[in-house]
Every structure is written in structure tokens, then in C-alpha cells.
Chains A and B, each alone.
Chain A
């Protein structure tokens, strides 16, 4: 009796997880950081599944590892809530809207691509993309260059030229960046953990 009841509860839990993340995946455009406030509202404020400290931990890990931030966050929350299956279901939920939307558009779009009106529409959308990407780039540059300006700006410029002009494989540059970061903070400036502690203290106040 109790076993069956538990099983029912678990099933409802999975469905709820799926629905929450399906909703989050459907209403957030542009991906990434846009989703985090929604996840916070749904899981911390409305459902109280996680404390503030736990969700900060989830978000930090999601941003520190490769992959789409929303997928990382969905799997992490689902996993903590109801194990591997919960994580998979949450990740599936957050990805499904993107998958369905692109698939549906493609079914229609392939036949319309040579239509002049569609091309004009796309030219406007691409102009908007250019503006949005440039704004994101300047915001990112501002925040990254606010510390260690010279060395970071130099690395960014090297990457810009290497990828933009010489078409060097971006994967190697990311890898080189990781290695450089580790070497730099091991041998030249050992301030990282210190400054992070300081920042953590500040945010705790």
C-alpha cells in the first residue's frame, strides 16, 4: 500500500519536474542566463525545493562546466530532487521546446527559403542578431576586462585574430586558455582563492 503510494508520488514528482522545465524551456528565448531567474522563481520562491544557498551552488556549477547553462541547471536540480531519472527528465523537459520549435520551423522553412519575402524577413532578423550579438560582446568585454585589463585584452585580441583571420580551430584556443589560466594562477598570481573568499564574504554581508 505505502509502496504503491510512494510510487505514485514519485511519478507525480517526475511529471511536475518535466512540466516545470518544459515551461522554462518554452518561455525563454536566447537561452543561457535568461533562464536562471525563472528557475529561481519556480523552484526556490514558489515551491521551496531549494534554499538560496543551494540554488546559488547549482547555478555556479552550471556556469562553470561546458554545455548549455539551462541544461546543466535542469539536470542538476532534477538530480538533487529525484535522482538520475529526475535529472534526465528535467533536462529532457528543458530541451524539448527548442527541439520541437526548430523541427516544426524546418518542415515549413525548407520550402520557403527561396521566397523573396522570407529572405527580406530573415535579413531584418539577421540585422537584429548582429545588434544583439554586438551588445552582448561589449557587455561581456566590459565585465571580463574590468580586472587584469592588459593581459586579458591581449589574449582576446589574439583569439579574435587567430579565429577571425587565420581560422584557427576555436577548440584549441579554449583549451590553451584553460592551460594558461592554470599556469598563470599557479606560478604568477596566487590570488584567485583569496579574492574569491573576499568576494564570498562580501556577498554574505
Chain B
């Protein structure tokens, strides 16, 4: 019985995440992070691992996260319920739109609401960026403003070089991000 309640809880938590996933991908990381925090789903230090694994595996990050967290909580069935939860809002909403609103995308209300969400998504992906900078090139909390003291100890130099190299590679070459991600992992494994 408790197992079934765990499954249903996972379904509902990820239904909520799916329902508020606007903008897709990295934008939603703070939302997923907060839900992990509130519901105590996985140890917080695993969050960065979860995103790292999502990057190396195909598919939407929200689905990867649902599968990961569901599995860590309640095994295979937990993964099934969480994944089904995160895609349920999509299925229901697309169905309703196709059935009821022929003119959905031209609806000015939809347009206005989406327009209001745009700057929110920028702020949220900003938070996600800081989270990952803190766990890679920065050796402390960004919001503690330690970096203002211009102390070089604040930066992790080898990772900073790797970080800059990846940015240059993404901008100047056509190598796919997945290859770059794997290469970064292998370089770190050998050199750091």
C-alpha cells in the first residue's frame, strides 16, 4: 500500500513539474531542484550528477530527471510513474487544444501569457547557470560575492581552462555538444 502511495506521489510531483515546464531544457532546472528540495526526493548533491547524466543520454531533460528521480526513489515502477507524470500534462493539453481550440496559437490571451513568461525563463536559466558555475569553476558560493576580492583561489584554474575551451569549441566549431561533453569528461578523468 505504501508503495502505491509512493508511486502516486511521484506521479503527482512530476505532473506538477510537467505542467509548469515552459521554455524547456535548462530553464526548468531550478523548478526541478526546488521540488527535489521540498519533497526530499534525492540527496541534493546528486542533482549535478543527474543533470550531467541527462546530458549524456538522449531525450528531454525533464524526462531524464523524472526517470532518474523515480528510479532512485522507488525502482523501476517509480521511474515509470514519474516519467508518465511528467508527460501527462503534455498529452492532456495537446488533446484539449486539438479538440477544443482551433485557433489556439492565434489567441491573444495565449500570446500575452507566453510573452509574460519569457523574461521569467531568462531569470531561471540564469540561476541554473550560477548553480553549475558554483560546482565547476567557482570554488565557493556566487551569491556570497567572494569573487569581488579578486582572490584567484576562488577559481578552479584547470576547470576554468576546460570551461573556456568548451565555450570556444561550441562557438567556433561544429562539433556536437554531446561529443564535447564526453571529451570534457575524459580530459578531466585523465588530467585532473
Which residues of A are at the interface with B, using a C-beta cutoff of 8 A?
Answer: 25-33, 57, 60-72, 75-76, 79-80, 84, 87-88, 91, 94-95, 97-99, 101-103, 105-106, 109, 113, 117, 120-137, 140-141, 144-145, 151-153, 155-160, 162-165, 167, 169-171, 173-182, 184-186, 192-193, 196
Query: What are the interface flags for B122-163 relative to A under an 8 Å C-beta threshold, 1 for contact and 0 otherwise?
Result: 111111111011011100000100000000000000010011
5 further A-B pairs in the complex, CB-CB below 8 A; given A69-B60, A91-B87: A61-B105, A65-B97, A135-B167, A164-B127, A193-B106
Q: Interface residue tally of chain B, by bracket?
A: 35 or more
Given contacts A31-B24, A99-B83, A117-B189, contact A159 B48 (CB under 8 A): no
C-alpha gap A117/B188 in the complex (Å) = 9
Question: Is the beta-carbon distance between B120 and A32 smaller than 8 angstroms?
Answer: no
Given contacts A102-B64, A178-B116, contact A64 B58 (CB under 8 A): no
CB nearest to B108 among chain A residues = A193
Given contacts A167-B34, A174-B117, contact A126 B110 (CB under 8 A): no
C-alpha gap A156/B87 in the complex (Å) = 27
30 A–B contacts, CB within 8 A, in A order: A29-B178, A30-B178, A31-B24, A31-B62, A31-B63, A61-B94, A66-B22, A66-B89, A68-B24, A69-B24, A75-B94, A102-B64, A103-B71, A120-B189, A122-B52, A124-B188, A126-B135, A130-B129, A130-B135, A131-B163, A132-B180, A136-B25, A136-B125, A140-B121, A144-B121, A155-B123, A164-B130, A171-B31, A178-B116, A184-B112
Which of these, B59, B86, B192, contacts A31 with CB under 8 Å? Answer: B59
Which of these, B30, B118, B159, B167, contacts A144 with CB under 8 Å? Answer: B118
Given contacts A103-B71, A131-B167, A181-B115, contact A31 B61 (CB under 8 A): yes
Query: What are the interface flags for B86-122 relative to A under an 8 Å C-beta threshold, 1 for contact and 0 otherwise?
Result: 1101110111011000001110111111111111111
C-alpha gap A168/B98 in the complex (Å) = 35
C-alpha gap A159/B120 in the complex (Å) = 6
Decide if B68 is an interface residue (CB 8 Å cutoff). yes
Binding site of B, secondary structure by majority: helix, strand, loop or mixed? helix
Given contacts A29-B58, A124-B185, A135-B167, contact A106 B71 (CB under 8 A): yes
Q: Give the shortest distance, in Å, between A152 (CB) and chain B (any CB).
A: 4
C-alpha gap A136/B127 in the complex (Å) = 12
Query: What are the interface flags for B30-50 relative to A under an 8 Å C-beta threshold, 1 for contact and 0 otherwise?
Result: 110010000000000000110
Query: What are the interface flags for B3-31 relative to A under an 8 Å C-beta threshold, 1 for contact and 0 otherwise?
Result: 00000000000001011111111110111
Question: Is the beta-carbon distance between B63 and A181 smaller than 8 angstroms?
Answer: no
Given contacts A128-B185, A181-B112, contact A79 B60 (CB under 8 A): no
Question: Is the beta-carbon distance between A99 and B87 smaller than 8 angstroms?
Answer: no
Question: Is the beta-carbon distance between B184 and A136 smaller than 8 angstroms?
Answer: no
Question: Is the beta-carbon distance between A99 and B79 smaller than 8 angstroms?
Answer: yes
C-alpha gap A95/B61 in the complex (Å) = 11
A192: chain B residues at CB < 8 Å are 108, 111-112, 115
C-alpha gap A57/B136 in the complex (Å) = 40
